Chain A
Amino acid sequence: EVQLVESGGGLVQPGGSLRLSCAASGFTFSGSWMYWVRQAPGKGLEWVSRIDTDGTSITYADSVKGRFTISRDNAKSTLFLQMNSLRTEDTAVYYCARVLGWADYWGQGTLVTVSS
């Protein structure tokens, strides 16, 4: 069974940092591209970042470019999102998802709240 479990969310002050993790199981993680997608409270879905199988091809939404860094550890089947210089508008539930051209499996999400 495919499972994606996010962790690392929480309350942080503006300008602070957080590192999200997504632990994958039930599929060949090293062979899968991955997304981070977020959803602000009461809002729609916003794509954040994408990484290829070995981390050599990475893209970001303009809204997070230069502040967020996606990475992966294939030996530990884990995806990461390092979030720096956080802003109040980054408050959202953050989901990781497996990508086959489309996002076929999603985690349950982890809530990040940026507030003073």
Chain B
Amino acid sequence: DIQMTQSPTSLSASVGDRVTITCRASQSITTYLNWYQQKPGKAPKLLIYAASNLQGGVSSRFSGSGSGTDFTLTISSLQPEDFATYYCQQSYRTPITFGQGTRLDI
């Protein structure tokens, strides 16, 4: 199975900060990497697909980059609604696997 490791697992930041979350795959997944945001009690929401493509309707302050084994999600200027948990997910091969999540707190 492909293991997905996110860092950090938790992060404290302030409104207006630039934040970067890292995701590392245990083997190359080319660009089969997706990012999701989840708020408490809600379903996950797709932010970025195929490593760097912004899902429709998602703010342009979110961006993704990377290929192979190393990927990043960047939030350019944190807004109050961005405080949530973020997950990476590989869709290169089954079993589909998620990172353990990064909780972003104020």
A residues near B (Cβ < 8 Å) are 35, 37, 44-47, 50, 59, 61-62, 95, 100-109
Contact = CB atoms under 8 A, between A and B. Distances in A.
B98 A44 contact: yes
Give the one of B34, B43, B44, B49 with max A CB within 10 A. Answer: B43
A59 B95 contact: yes
Name A's interface SS.
Answer: strand
Contact of A102 (B50, B95, B99, B100): B50
B43 A102 contact: no
Nearest to B97: A47
B45 interface: yes
The number of chain B residues touching the other chain, given as a range, is 20 to 34
Contacts, number: 55
A32 to B, nearest CB: 14
B59 interface: no
B87 interface: yes
Contacts of B99: 44
5 contacts: A47-B95, A47-B96, A102-B50, A103-B36, A106-B43
Given A102-B46, A104-B49, A46 B98 contact: yes
